[in-house]
Amino acid sequence: MSIRNIGIVYKKELTEALRDRRTLITTLVVPLLLFPLLSVGFGALVAAIIGKAQEEVPKIMIIGGEDSPSVVAGLKKLEKVNIVPLAPDWKDKIINKQVPVVIEIPTGFEKDLAAQKDVTVTIYDYSGDLKSEVARGKIEKFFDEYRDNVIKARLAAKNLPAALVKPFDVQQQNVAPPEKSGGALFFGGFIAYIVVFLCLNGGMHPASDLTAGEKERGTMETILSSPVSRAHLVLGKFLLVFTTALATAALSVISMAVSFAIANSFHAKPIQTGDSGMNFHIGFGAALSVFIMAVPLAVLFAAVLITIASFAKTNKEAQTYIMPLMFLVIIPAIAAMLPGVELTPKLALVPILNVSLLCKELVIGTYHWNYIAIIFSSTCAYAAVALFLAVKMFQRESVLFRS
């Protein structure tokens, strides 16, 4: 094994990669700019849209209510609600999103309430529309409070305590640390997905360029006529693909950590808070752990990518072969984000899914050392097999000179 020859090939491939616009875009631009913009920017955009919908004063129409002046007066007194006259085409106005909700107060509502009869108020809305749901929430809150007041008045009239209708409370108390609960679990899964996806993405173009691209440009025959052995040649190429895959994964973790830190510092209420009201952040220890787990994953991806791309005669053909691999990788990475999918001894042996699930735990600061050992060693084993296949593949004339 000549380390010198592998080093020469690697250095040359690195020089070419650093001059290749496509490699630079996938390795540097995508993780450093695109994904932070997409993830943090998208989160901020969603927060802004929800905030805007909550701040907006909805126009609300009332059907009936002429004989229930106190309810109508109460509705009119509501802050951030604008009661407008009823239009005959009120249904169309809801469908066309000109009016978010219309309230129907039945005839004799207050009189029937006083007589303790069953009465129903109907709220017409546009299900699934954010503005309509926000407006409906405000109206429901008003009627809940109105109902409570009616109950209190009825109880008071009969000298009964308020606890009669609510003998006990049920309270939920989260004991998990805020950084490990609520939205943090989703956040961990999301970071794992980004790392896995970008790790593969970072190696895709260099792998096809260094194998199929060489055949397409006619440089494969040039390099095969040199004294370097095919094993050294493929190992040099593999190292470059591994470098770009790992660099992309590492840069994605760093850029996400920095992006969330910056985003959190600008928001009084942290973005994507969910119910836990916590700041999302990736600590140095978590980032380092994710990076270490990404190493065997990058070896696996680089070797598999080289093996697949070696078959192709052109870059375009290589991309076609690699595309199904992308789905094979993305599906387990997405599965790891799903609530309830947790590490088990069996799942710890499933490639990609195991690293995704582990990264999800590592990001939130949970270290299951037994799983870490199983996943690291199993991924190393898969990576070694893939690398062996890549070397074997590169030594086959039928692959290198496929016509």
User: Given the rule CB under 8 A, which residues bind other proteins?
Assistant: 5, 8-9, 12, 15-16, 19-20, 217-219, 221-222, 224-229, 397-398, 401
Kindly state the smallest distance separating residue 233's Cβ from other proteins, in Å: 9
Nearest to other proteins of 367, 401 (CB atom): 401
Residues in CB range of 155: below 8 A, 6 or more apart = 161, 162, 164, 165
122-125 sheet: strands from edge to edge: 82-84, 59-64, 101-105, 122-125
DSSP code of 314?
A: S
Nearest to other proteins of 16, 56 (CB atom): 16
Tokens of 82: 């604008």
Kindly state the smallest distance separating residue 5's Cβ from other proteins, in Å: 7
Residues in CB range of 260: below 8 A, 6 or more apart = 40, 280, 281, 282
H or E, element range at 124: strand 122-125
Nearest to other proteins of 72, 400 (CB atom): 400
| Residue spans of alpha helices (H) in 127-229 | 130-157, 183-210, 212-217, 219-224
Give the residue from 357, 321, 352 showing the smallest Cα distance to 339: 357
Kindly state the smallest distance separating residue 395's Cβ from other proteins, in Å: 10
Kindly state the smallest distance separating residue 16's Cβ from other proteins, in Å: 4
Nearest to other proteins of 224, 374 (CB atom): 224
Nearest to other proteins of 282, 400 (CB atom): 400
With left for phi above 0 and alpha for psi between -120 and 50, is residue 272 left, alpha or beta? left
**Cβ–Cβ under 8 Å, residues 251 and 295:** no
* Beta-carbon-side half-sphere exposure of residue 6 (alpha carbons within 13 Å): 12
Tokens of 271: 């973005």
Kindly state the smallest distance separating residue 302's Cβ from other proteins, in Å: 20
Nearest to other proteins of 265, 403 (CB atom): 403
- Calculate the CA dihedral of residues 224, 225, 231, 232 and round it to 10 degrees: -110
Burial class (CB in 10 A: 0-12, 13-18, 19+), 380: middle
**Cβ–Cβ under 8 Å, residues 243 and 28:** no
Nearest to other proteins of 127, 225 (CB atom): 225
Kindly state the smallest distance separating residue 6's Cβ from other proteins, in Å: 11
Give 122's strand partners.
Answer: 104
Q: How far apart are CA 394 and CA 390, in angstroms?
A: 6
Nearest to other proteins of 214, 361 (CB atom): 214
Nearest to other proteins of 388, 401 (CB atom): 401
Kindly state the smallest distance separating residue 349's Cβ from other proteins, in Å: 38
Tokens of 325: 């691999």
Provide the residue type at 210 as one letter: L
Kindly state the smallest distance separating residue 232's Cβ from other proteins, in Å: 9
- Widest Cα–Cα separation across the chain: 102
DSSP code of 45?
A: H
Q: How far apart are CA 216 and CA 318, in angstroms?
A: 11
Kindly state the smallest distance separating residue 231's Cβ from other proteins, in Å: 11
Nearest to other proteins of 15, 344 (CB atom): 15
Kindly state the smallest distance separating residue 10's Cβ from other proteins, in Å: 12
Tokens of 250: 């590492």
